[in-house]
Amino acid sequence: MELEQLEQRREYQYLQDKISYLEGEVSSLSPYEYEHRLLRDVIADCLLQGHLTVSELPQTIRLIQDDDLFYLYAWRFVEAKGDCQSGIIILKTLQDDLNYLFSIGKMSQERYSQWIEKWLSFLERGKIAFKGEKDFESYFQDQKEASRGIFDDYGL
């Protein structure tokens, strides 16, 4: 009984030490959070103004957690400009990022599905924004044939 209690105390102390260490790490990184947000805002603004394209960003920051801000702002710019070719590039880049990260195990099935819904949402918006653009309509049809099940599930 005493040995069991001693083992529980050791485990408890180990967890307490680990928690303290992690709290220290969080507090040491906290000052950088503000700078990270500022940099994120600058990048997003550059995308929205067309000074930067999403494909010029490193892949590691294009898909930050579940944040589609960079893709969304890049999409808003091309949609406002009526630039279907750049819209297709954004869609291809997003699709390539998703497929790559999923294939190497850096993205869960659930997260992949959430991002596919975002990709389909951009496709649907493009269908409206670039109506009559033969290149976009052709790209849309190619994607629809390649991913028929996903398009059926989404109602496109």
CA distance 69 to 72: 5
- Name the token pair of 31: 């000052």
CA distance 121 to 150: 12
Provide the pLDDT for residue 132. Answer: 92
CA distance 22 to 4: 27
Provide the pLDDT for residue 24. Answer: 75
CA dihedral angle for residue 44, residue 49, residue 94, residue 58, rounded to 10 degrees: -60
Question: Can you give the pTM of this predicted structure?
Answer: 0.74
Which residues in the chain show pLDDT less than 70? Answer: 1, 28-30, 36, 65-66, 152-156
Q: Which residues contact 82 (CB under 8 A, 6 or more apart)?
A: 129, 130
